[in-house]
Structure 1
């Protein structure tokens, strides 16, 4: 059994995509980040960076005590290694998949996240910041589009690299991107969206967070008012 500490963000969706694809039993523990639930001591013991997602694997592969993990990329890699799914054992394919997983973690996610912030959540528009992150997001879409040329998925077969990237492409309109400009990404995106496991994973939103509370003022203060004192 996997205990999943989750909210309905792109990083949260990565893990539900894997769990639904793999058929692993899991229990969701919602962590409403707009209400500050990520600062509860019980959660911080699992995720010291006060971010979702996090998991506790109650039955790890070695048969020992439960293992907790934070950081979505680390969780995807752990689950892939636990199950033997969505990460090839072939050295070259495995290396390529991990490269694209880390590309998402270090590039697509952070840049699209800043895009979201300045386009949607900032209290006032800052033209330079909006232009900077919309352009960088477009560059990254272009990189992904090139990689997907002649491929159904990022490294051939469906993998944790696809699960990492897909949720960050879902809000492409909010990022100022038109998928028609990236035909390989569009084809890939539609293929993943049609997967039953993807549809089950995203259906969870209606049960857990049907209204995006991150738009209210109190939630913005909690989400965007953090500094070093927050973690002391």
Structure 2
């Protein structure tokens, strides 16, 4: 079985597997967190207390576990895992795949695990609409590691702002702490560039410091884009806004 306990209501949850777990256990956990994710968009923190975990009841349970992780990990802001099993130390390797920060703690360090979840400031959205946005001129700030949910939310917001008989002029600020994409988000990024969205953009300004994103923006074949693209230094933010609004 898997016991659940809210460490902070509707924000930080502790799950405690006890003995061997089966596929119905994951359905029970999903019933606890899915309504919260539906309301809030994500779970702020998850503590996995693995001290009593003794494996899976059968292969069906293992598959249910993998499916649960795939469906829910991108929607959790941070995950702490407490336990002394040697293989738990490999859990942080999942961070590049789903973009969720993961830290492991010894079974005796449960208080430290809880503190990391409860005392850390909530992470800002990976894609945020800038308050300077007006009408068909929309600015976004990109930070952290982009997940597929970030693209879903961004497309929904841009669709809402799309003029009925016009195009959007977009400003994308790439923060210094931008950490790239999860694999699925990377595919979403490429697909968006060549989807019907390419005809809904009138101009694109990219503001970025030195790095891969800036290099790719500067060297992207302009002939593949039906709209002008211009790259600016972070110190040229005002010029980027002016170029879009001209």
TM-score, scaled relative to structure 1 = 0.28
Q: Normalized per residue, which structure has more helix? A: 1
Q: Which has the larger radius of gyration?
A: 2
Structure (1 or 2) with the greater strand fraction: 2
Kindly indicate whether structure 1 or structure 2 has the higher relative contact order, using CA contacts under 8 Å at least 6 residues apart: 1
TM-score, normalised relative to structure 2: 0.27
